[in-house]
Structure 1
Amino acid sequence: MKKLLLLAISFSLFLSCSSTQKSTKAKTSSQTATSAPKKDKDAMKSYDKVITKDAVTDEGMFKVHKVKKQYYYEIPKNLLEKDMLWVSRIAQIPTGLGGGYFNAGTKTNEQVVHWQQFQDKILLKVKSFANVADSTKAISNSVYVNNYEPTLYAFDIATISKDSANVVIDVTKFFQSDVKAISGLSARLRRQYKVKNLDKSRSFIHSVKSFPQNIEVKQDFTYNASEPPSNRATESISLQMNQSMILLPEEPMQPRLYDARVGFFTVSQYDFGSEELKADRKTYIRRWRLEPKDPAAYARGELVEPVKPIVYYLDPGTPENLKEYIKQGIEDWQKPFETAGFKNAIIAKDAPTPEEDPEFSPEDIRYSVVRYVASTTRNAVGPSVSDPRSGEIIESDIIWYHNHLRSYRNRYLLETGAANPSARTLNTPDKEIGEMMRMVIAHEVGHALGFPHNMAASYAYDVESYRDGAFTQEFGIASSLMDYARYNYIAQPGDKNIRFIRQMGPYDHYATNWGYRVIPGANSPEAEKKTLDSWILDKAGDARYKFGRQSSRFDPQSQTEAIGDNPIKASTYGIKNLQYVAKNLPSWTSDKTNNYADLEELYGEMLGVWSRYVGHVVTNIGGVFENIKTPSQGGTIYTHLDESSQKESMQWLHDNAFETPTWLVDESILQNIDHAGYFERLRRVQARHINNLLSFDRIGRLVDAETTGTEYYSALEMLRDLRKGIFKEATTGRNVDIYRRNLQRTYLDRMGYLLENEGPSNSFSRPGFEGRLVFNVNTSDVRALVRGELRTLRAILNRAKNGVNTETRYHYEDAIARIDGWFDED
C-alpha cells in the first residue's frame, strides 16, 4: 500500500510540474506575443501623428512645420544630395562683442552642405570643393574616399510623407544646441570672455521661415560667461543668430579663369581629373551671374539689361540725409557695367516697409543690403558670399559704421586743408561729406562685385598732374576707385579747380569689362582664355590699366594711401601742406569750439598722416617693382629700384623724418592737450620707421640685390648711410638734443634686436598681400653687417664723448655701454 501511495503522490507531483511548465511556457509565449506592439510603438510614427492638426506649416524649399514647441523640416527626397550654401550671421549683438568689426550682419561662417539619407537617419554633411574630378573619370572615386565629408548633425527620421516623396526630421534640438560650426562665438571669443556653456533655459528658436529657394532661421542664444564684453554683472552673453540655407544652382555658372594681371577675388580647387601630370590647381574669379536678356542684341554690341540685375537694399536704419549718397555710390557702377555691355545692371532700392513686405529681413540671403551700423568703429567693408564651385557671388552685405564719416572729415581737413579752403572747418559742407560717403560706398560695392584693392592705380599719374585742375576733374586722383587714394594731398595753395576727392577711373571700366563681359560662343573657361588675354595685351604698358597687389611691404608703386608716381616728390608736397595745416590747426578747431577735444584728436591724426608720407619713401629702400606678365610679353616681373633713387630716399628720410620735425612740436598745441609726454609722441612715430628700415625683410632684399648682377644699393651702404645720418652730431662735435637722443637710442635698440633675434620663422601672407622674406639669418650677412656697424659706431662715440655738454656725454657713454653689453664675449 505504501508503494502504491508513493507512486500516486509521485505521479501527482509530475502532473503538477508538467502543468506548471506548460503554464510558464504559455505565459512566456503570451508575453512574447504582447511585446510585439512595443516594437511597433518604437517604430516610425505615421505622418498624422507627427505633423498633427495643430501644426503651423510654412511652404517653401522645405515645408517647415511648427507643432507646439517643436520644429520639423519636411525634406523632399529629390533635394537630398543637392548642394546648398549655409551662411551664419549675427542678427543682433551685445555691445562690445568681438571688438569694432563685429556687428549685426557680421558673417561668422560660410559652408556648402547637403542632406543625405543613411538608413533611418538624415545626415547634414559639410561639403568641400577644394579637390574635384569629373564624375565620369575613375579618379573621382579616389577623390571621394580621400575627402570624407564631416557630418555636422545626424537626425532621426520622424516620419515619411503620405506620398513617400518627403522625409520629416525634428530640427528643434539642433537649432537649440551650441553647434560650433554655425555659432556666433569662435573659440577665440569663448576664451576671451570665458564662456562656460550655453544656457538652454535662456536659449530658444526665434523663428523659422521657408522660401522657394532658401530657409532662414533665427536663434536667440544666451551663454554663461565669466567675463562678458558688457553688462558684466549678468555674467551672460546674449546674441541672436541668423542661419541662411539657400539652394545652389543645379547648373553652376560658367567659371572664368583668373589672371593675376587683372584684380579679382578668387576661388580655387585642385582638379585631379586634369590631363596635367599633377593635380591641376584651377583658380576662378568671383563675380555675379550677369546674363543678357537678349543675347543676340548683346552679341551685336548693343546695351542689354541682365536677366537678373544686382540689387542692393538700404538698411531700414539708414539716416534719411545719407540715403541719396549711398544710392549714388551703388549705382556709380552702372557706367562700368555699360562698358561690359549691360545697362541697369546694378540698382539701389529702399528696404520695403513692414507693411510692404512683413517678411523682409536684412539677414535673408536673398537680399544684398547696405547695412548702417550704430558703432563707433571708423570703417566700411564690402564682404560677399559665393558658390565655391564657380565663383558666382550669391549675396553681399556692405557694412557702413556710423563714425566713419568722422575719419573722412578729419583726413579731408588734414590732407587738403592747405589748398582747399572748404576743408578748413570742423563742419565740412554736407555736399562734400556726401561725395566722400558716395565714393566710400562705391569702393565697398567694388569689393562686393569681386574687386580687391588695386594699389598701383595711384601710381599711374605723374605727381605734377595733381596740381592740374582740368586733369584732376577728368581723371580724379587714381586710375581706380579700388586704390586707397582718398584725397589729393599734392595740390598746393593757389592751384585752381582741383578735385580733391577720389572717383571712378579707367581701370574700373577695364576690369569690369574683363570680368563680366559675356564672350559669345565661348562655352568653357578655356575657350574664353584667348579673348581675355587679348584684352590684357591691348592695355599692356599703359599704367592706367595696371593692377598692383596690396603688397606695400616691398613695391613702391603699390602702396596704401599714396598718390603719384614719385613718393619723394609726393611726400614733399604732402609735408609742405601739412606744415601749413599744423600752423593753423588751433584756429580751425579750438578757437572755434572753445575746447581742445577736436584739436587733440586732429593733432594725433596729423602725426599719423605725416607718418604715412614718410612710410611711402621708406618703401623705396630695398624697393622691388612687381609687374606681372607672361613670358610672351618679355621682360622680368621683379625689378629692383635703382641705386640712386634709393640713396636719394635715404637722404630724404634724414632731412624730413629723422632730423627733428620741430613744426610738429608746437607748444600752443601740446601744452593744451596733455601735461607731459611730448618727446615720446614723436619718438614713437620715428621709431616705426627706424624699425621698418632695420627689418630682416628689408635688409634681406638688399642683400639679395647682390645676386641680380645689376647696379644695386647694398645692405652695407644702407646701414652705413643710416648710421652716419642718425649719429651725425658725433662727427661734427655738436650736442645732441632730447629728440635726437631718443632717436639714437631707438636705433641702438633695433640694432640689438637684429643682432640677437632669429628673424621671422614663417611668411605671413593673405590674398593680395606678399609675405615676408624668410631666410636663415645666422648664415646670412645680417649679423656681420650689424656687428661691424656697431663697432664702428662705438669707436666714433669714444672719440666724440669729450668736448660736448653733460647730457650728450652721458648719452654717448650709455650708448657705448649698450654696445659693450652685446660684445661681452670680446
Structure 2
Amino acid sequence: MKKLFLWLMAGLLIIGSTNEANARSKKKKGKAKTEQQVDSVQKKKKSVYDKLFKDKKKHTVSKGTITIHQYDAKIYLEIPVKLMGRDFLVHSAITGSSDISLTGTKAAQSRYLIIDKTDSLVLFRDPKYNIRLNEEDDNQKEAFDLSRSNAIYKTFPIEGYTSDSTSVVFNATSYFACSNKDVLNLAGRSYGGMLTIISASPQSKTSFIDSADAFDNCVSVTQNCTAKLSISIMGFVSKEQPELTMSVQTTLALLAEDKMSTREANPRVGTGFISYTDYRNEKRFKKGYYVTRRNITSQQPVIFYLDTLIQDSWSQAIRKSADEWNKVFNELGMGEPILIKPYEKDSTFRANNPMINTIAFLNNNNSEVTAYNVTDLRTGEILSTKIGVPRDLAFSVRRNGVYQMAEVDPRFRTYYIADGVICENLTARMLKAFGLSLGLATNLAGSAAYSPEELRSPEFTQKYGITASVMDNVLYNYLAQPGDKEKGVVLIVNKPGVCDAFTLKYLYAAIGENESDILKKWAMEHDGDPRYFYGKRSPAYATDPRCQNYDLGNDPIAALDAQISHVKYIVKNSPDWFHDDNIPNDYRELFPDFVIIELINKTLSPVSSYIGGIYINEANEKSSVPSYKSVPVDMQRKVLQKIFSTFYDLKWLDSNTDFLRLGGANPEISTWIYNNGYPMMSLMFRLMRMGLSVEKSAKPYTQEAYLNDIEKQLFKESLNGKPLSSPMISQISVYINSLKGMCPTLKAIDKAVSKGVTSLTVNERNNHKLHMLELPTTSSYDVTYSKVYAGMEPTNSINFYSGTDIEAVCYDKLKSARRHLMQARSLARNDIERGKCDYLITMIERVL
C-alpha cells in the first residue's frame, strides 16, 4: 500500500511537472507571438519612411521642430501633431538673381497660415483676418469667435505617421513650387526704369530644388527658378518676354503663442505697418494699422551676425552705422540694443537660418546693399532681417558717387576708389538697412527738408547731417561746391536725421496709460515742420515734388545748377583719369552713358515734377496745413524756363573729344539726347498730369498757359527772325506727336491716314540704348488705374478724378504750331531745313 502511494505521488509529480512545463512553453509561445505582433506593428509604422524614401541615396533629411525631407525632386514635411492648429508664417525672398535689382527683395507677399489636420488630410487654413475688438465686451469676442471660421486654403493627403505616432508626414512639393503665388509673385514690381513686371511664368524644365533645411521653429526650401516675364512700359504691354533666373528661399516658420504687444501706426509717421479691421465701434468698422517694430528688451537686444568673409575695414563701417542708431536709442533711455557679433564657430550655427539677423557677404554681380524683414503679420513684430553686402560695392560708388562728387572731392577722380571712400558709402547705406530692420519705412521727403545754404554750412551739416531722414534715397550732398569739403561740409549721409529720431521714439519709447492719445499727440506736435514730414510715393496724377528719388534740398533750381556743374566737370576732366590699361574697357565705354542717366533720371525727372505738382499732406482737423496745395504758378514757370535754358544748348557735352571717345566712335551725345526726345518728352509727360494741380489752385497754371509757354520757348528762334536749329526741330517733332497722341479724335485720324510714316526722332520702342540706360522709352500717356488705398499706404490713384479734356487746346496749339512752322520755313537757309519744316507741317495737316 505504501509502495502504491509512492507510485501515485511520483505520477502526480510527473504530471504536475509536465503541466508546468507545458504552461511555461505556452507562455513562452504566447509571449513570442505578442512580441512578433508588436514588432509587426512597429515595422508597419516605420514603413512610412520605407514607402516614401526607398532609395536612401536620394533621401536627405534635416531635423528641427519641423523635420523636412528632400527626396529626389519632392519635399515632404514632418510636423508634430501637437503643433496642429498653430499659427505659421510663410515668407519668400529672392536671395540671388540674374537681375541684380531684384536680389535681396521679397519674392512674394508674406502669408499667415494655420496648419491643421483631419484623419486623412493636412489642412492649410486662411486665418481669420486681424481684428481689434472692445476689450471690455466679452460678448463681442464670443460672437466673433462663433461667427468666423478659418477657410481651408490648401489640402495635402497624409502619407503616414512616424513610428511613435507623434508626427504626421505629407508631400508638400506643390506648395513650395514657384508656380505657387505664395512662393513667387512679381506682379507690379519695377524692372528698372519705366518697366513694370505684369506677371512671371515659371519654367518647370529649368527650375529645381537646391536645398531643404530645418531650423528651430522653421524650415526653409531654396530653389533655382527660371521665369518668363511679361512686362509693360508705362502701361503698354511689351512683346518682349525676358527670362529671369532667381534663387528663391521660402520659409515656413512657427509663430509664438505669446504675441508681442501692438502699437498703433499713424500715417504722419514713417513706419512699416500691418493692417487690421477695427470693430470697437459697434455702429461701424474701419481699417486700422499696427506699426512694425522689434520686441526690444534688456534681455532681448537686436543681435546681428556679421559674415566673417567681410573684410575688417568694412566690418568697422557697418559697426559705425549700428553705433549711430544706438546713439539715438541712448537718447531715448534704451541703452544700446543693436549688437554686432561675428558668425559663430559653433557647428550648430547656420547663417542661412531665416529667423536670425545676418549681414552676409554677397559674392555675386550685385552692387547694392540689400535688406528685407520677416514680420509677424499678427502683431507687426519684426522677427528677423537679412542684409546683404555686395562684393562689388565699389561699382556702385563709381556709378553714383563719381558723377556727383568728383568736382568737390578729389578722392572720386579715379577708377580706383579708395577703401576709405567705400567704407563711408557702406556706412551710409547700412544706416537705411538698419532703419528698415527697426521698423522705419522709406521716407522720400527726408532729403527735401533743408535749404541749399544749410547744406553748404559746415556747422549745420555736422550737427544735422544732409537729410532729415536716412530712409530717403539719397547718399551724397551734391549741393556742395568746390572748397566746401575743406571747410568741413558733410558730403555723405552719416547719421540718422531728426525725423528718424522722432520715428524711433514713436516706435519704442515707453508709454504708460493713454498710449493711443499720446501717440496721436506726438504725430501732430511737428505739424507743418518740413523736417518731420513723412513723404510717401505719390501717383502720377498727384505728384508731390518733395517725394522724388535723387532730389536734394528745397530749391529745385539750385539743385539743377549744382548737378549740371558736376556733370560739366566730369565731361571736361574725366578722360585724364582713365589712362591705366588695367581699367576695364566696358567701364570706359559706359562712362558717357551714365552721364546721360545723371542728366535725365537724376536731374530732369526730379525737377520736372514741380510742373503740375501738388503738395499732399495727411488730412487732420487739428492741422494748420492744407491736405492739398498746388505748386505755385511762379515756381512751375520758373522750373519750365530753367529746363529750357539748361537743355536748349547741350553742346558742352560734345566739347571734349576725349570724353566722347571713351564710349567709342561717338560723334555727339547732345544730338542723341535731342533725337530721343529729351527734354520735351518729360515736359509733355507732365502736361497730362496737371489736372489735379489746376483743380486745387485758386490761381492755377493751366494746361493752356503751360503749352503757350512751351510754344514760346520752342519757336523762340523763328520769333526772333532766325532759322530753327536742329535740336529745336527734334523737340518740335516730339511736341507735335505728343499733342496728337493726347487727343483721341486726332489720334484716330492720324492712325487712319498714316502709312508707315517715320518720325524725325528715332523709334523709341526699339531703341535698346534707352532700355540699357533705364530711361523712359515712350511718349504715350495712357493711364492704368490700380487699387485705391488710404491710410498708411501710399496713394495709388485719386478717387473720382477725371482728367481735364484738353483736346480743344491741343487742336489750337497744333494750328498755332503750323503757323510758326510756316514762318520758320521762310527763314530756312537751305533745302534741308525747308524739308524738315515741310515734314512737320505735313504731320500737322494730315490730322487737321
Greater displacement, 614-623 / 750-759: 750-759
What displacement does 1:376 show? Answer: 2.4
Q: 2:325 maps to which residue?
A: 333
What displacement does 1:567 show? Answer: 0.6
Alignment deviations for residues 413-458 of structure 1 (CA, whole Å, 9 cap, x no partner):
2212222223222223322220111110121221222222222222
Alignment of 1:470-489 (within 5 A): 470-489=459-478
Using the alignment, how far apart are the partners of 1:423 and 1:224 within structure 2? 39
Q: Does the CA contact (< 8 Å) of 1:660 and 1:740 recur in 2?
A: no
Alignment of 1:773-812 (within 5 A): 780-806=804-830, 807-812=832-837
Using the alignment, how far apart are the partners of 1:620 and 1:222 within structure 2? 42
Question: Secondary structure in 1 aligned to 2:473?
Answer: coil
Q: 2:680 maps to which residue?
A: 690
Using the alignment, how far apart are the partners of 1:237 and 1:624 within structure 2? 38
Using the alignment, how far apart are the partners of 1:60 and 1:519 within structure 2? 38
Asked if residue 122 in structure 1 is aligned to residue 122 in structure 2, the reply is: yes
Greater displacement, 452-461 / 685-694: 685-694
Q: Does the CA contact (< 8 Å) of 1:128 and 1:149 recur in 2?
A: no
Using the alignment, how far apart are the partners of 1:464 and 1:341 within structure 2? 34
CA change 1:42–1:471 in 2 (3 A) is same
Pick aligned residue for 2:214 from 193, 209, 213: 209
Using the alignment, how far apart are the partners of 1:706 and 1:121 within structure 2? 60
Match for 2:287: what amino acid? Answer: R
Match for 1:760: what amino acid? Answer: V
Alignment deviations for residues 58-114 of structure 1 (CA, whole Å, 9 cap, x no partner):
8753477999999986644442211122334567x6x73xx2245589655632222
Q: 1:428 maps to which residue?
A: 417
Q: 2:259 maps to which residue?
A: 252
Pick aligned residue for 2:664 from 658, 661, 674: 674
Question: Secondary structure in 2 aligned to 1:563?
Answer: coil
Question: Secondary structure in 2 aligned to 1:333?
Answer: helix
Gaps of 5+ in 2: 1-37, 51-55, 189-196, 230-242, 748-779
Pick aligned residue for 1:745 from 733, 741, 746: 733
Match for 1:111: what amino acid? Answer: R
Asked if residue 324 in structure 1 is aligned to residue 316 in structure 2, the reply is: yes
What displacement does 1:459 show? Answer: 1.8
Alignment of 1:312-711 (within 5 A): 312-352=304-344, 356-495=345-484, 496-504=487-495, 505-520=497-512, 522=513, 527-551=514-538, 553=540, 554-590=543-579, 597-611=586-600, 612-663=602-653, 666-676=656-666, 678=668, 682-683=672-673, 687-695=677-685, 698-699=686-687, 702-708=690-696, 710-711=698-699
Match for 1:259: what amino acid? Answer: N
Q: 1:144 maps to which residue?
A: 148
Greater displacement, 184-193 / 764-773: 184-193
What displacement does 1:126 show? Answer: 4.4
Question: Secondary structure in 2 aligned to 1:678?
Answer: coil
Q: Does the CA contact (< 8 Å) of 2:226 and 2:245 recur in 1?
A: yes
Using the alignment, how far apart are the partners of 1:224 and 1:700 within structure 2? 35
Alignment deviations for residues 185-214 of structure 1 (CA, whole Å, 9 cap, x no partner):
979999978724589xxx779555353xx1
Q: Does the CA contact (< 8 Å) of 2:677 and 2:730 recur in 1?
A: no
CA change 1:765–1:673 in 2 (3 A) is farther
Alignment deviations for residues 234-290 of structure 1 (CA, whole Å, 9 cap, x no partner):
xx999876553332121322221111111012111224x432533321111111112
Asked if residue 717 in structure 1 is aligned to residue 705 in structure 2, the reply is: yes
Q: Does the CA contact (< 8 Å) of 1:414 and 1:606 recur in 2?
A: yes
Q: Does the CA contact (< 8 Å) of 2:629 and 2:696 recur in 1?
A: no
Give TM-score scaled by structure 2 length: 0.77
Using the alignment, how far apart are the partners of 1:378 and 1:456 within structure 2? 25
What displacement does 1:765 show? Answer: 8.0
CA change 1:456–1:143 in 2 (3 A) is farther
Q: Does the CA contact (< 8 Å) of 1:660 and 1:739 recur in 2?
A: no
CA change 1:816–1:276 in 2 (3 A) is farther
CA change 1:729–1:516 in 2 (3 A) is same
Alignment deviations for residues 6-60 of structure 1 (CA, whole Å, 9 cap, x no partner):
xxxxxxxxxxxxxxxxxxxxxxxxxxxxxxxxxx9999986566589x9999875
Q: 1:762 maps to which residue?
A: 785
Question: Secondary structure in 1 aligned to 2:525?
Answer: helix
Using the alignment, how far apart are the partners of 2:437 and 2:650 within structure 1? 44
Q: Does the CA contact (< 8 Å) of 1:132 and 1:143 recur in 2?
A: no
CA change 1:242–1:126 in 2 (3 A) is farther
CA change 1:317–1:774 in 2 (3 A) is farther
Match for 1:460: what amino acid? Answer: A
Q: Does the CA contact (< 8 Å) of 1:90 and 1:108 recur in 2?
A: no
Greater displacement, 601-610 / 104-113: 104-113
Gaps of 5+ in 1: 1-39, 227-235, 292-305
What displacement does 1:815 show? Answer: 0.9
Greater displacement, 72-81 / 356-365: 72-81
Aligned-pair RMSD on alpha carbons? 4.0
Using the alignment, how far apart are the partners of 2:211 and 2:422 within structure 1? 39
Using the alignment, how far apart are the partners of 2:562 and 2:468 within structure 1? 20
Question: Secondary structure in 1 aligned to 2:397?
Answer: helix
Match for 2:521: what amino acid? Answer: S
Using the alignment, how far apart are the partners of 2:335 and 2:61 within structure 1? 41
Using the alignment, how far apart are the partners of 1:805 and 1:811 within structure 2? 12
Using the alignment, how far apart are the partners of 1:774 and 1:488 within structure 2? 38
Using the alignment, how far apart are the partners of 1:222 and 1:724 within structure 2? 54
Asked if residue 266 in structure 1 is aligned to residue 273 in structure 2, the reply is: yes
Q: Does the CA contact (< 8 Å) of 2:91 and 2:110 recur in 1?
A: yes
Greater displacement, 791-800 / 168-177: 168-177
Aligned length: 735
Using the alignment, how far apart are the partners of 1:725 and 1:375 within structure 2? 48
Match for 2:294: what amino acid? Answer: W
Using the alignment, how far apart are the partners of 2:225 and 2:269 within structure 1? 46
What displacement does 1:556 show? Answer: 2.2
Greater displacement, 592-601 / 629-638: 592-601
CA change 1:328–1:768 in 2 (3 A) is farther
Percent of pairs with identical residues: 20
Q: 2:724 maps to which residue?
A: 736
Alignment deviations for residues 688-732 of structure 1 (CA, whole Å, 9 cap, x no partner):
54223223xx43553444444622212111111012102222212
Q: 2:302 maps to which residue?
A: 310
CA change 1:671–1:219 in 2 (3 A) is closer
Greater displacement, 630-639 / 654-663: 654-663
Using the alignment, how far apart are the partners of 1:801 and 1:594 within structure 2? 49
What displacement does 1:321 show? Answer: 4.3
Q: Say which structure, 1 or 2, has more relative contact order (CA 8 Å, 6+ apart).
A: 2
CA change 1:281–1:751 in 2 (3 A) is same
CA change 1:225–1:738 in 2 (3 A) is closer
Match for 1:732: what amino acid? Answer: N
Match for 1:690: what amino acid? Answer: M
Question: Secondary structure in 1 aligned to 2:358?
Answer: strand
CA change 1:546–1:775 in 2 (3 A) is closer
Using the alignment, how far apart are the partners of 2:264 and 2:441 within structure 1? 16
Match for 1:536: what amino acid? Answer: A
Question: Secondary structure in 1 aligned to 2:827?
Answer: coil
Q: 1:195 maps to which residue?
A: 203
Q: Does the CA contact (< 8 Å) of 1:335 and 1:509 recur in 2?
A: no
Alignment deviations for residues 145-196 of structure 1 (CA, whole Å, 9 cap, x no partner):
5x6230253324436736xxx3432458678977735656979999978724
Question: Secondary structure in 2 aligned to 1:287?
Answer: coil
Match for 2:493: what amino acid? Answer: R
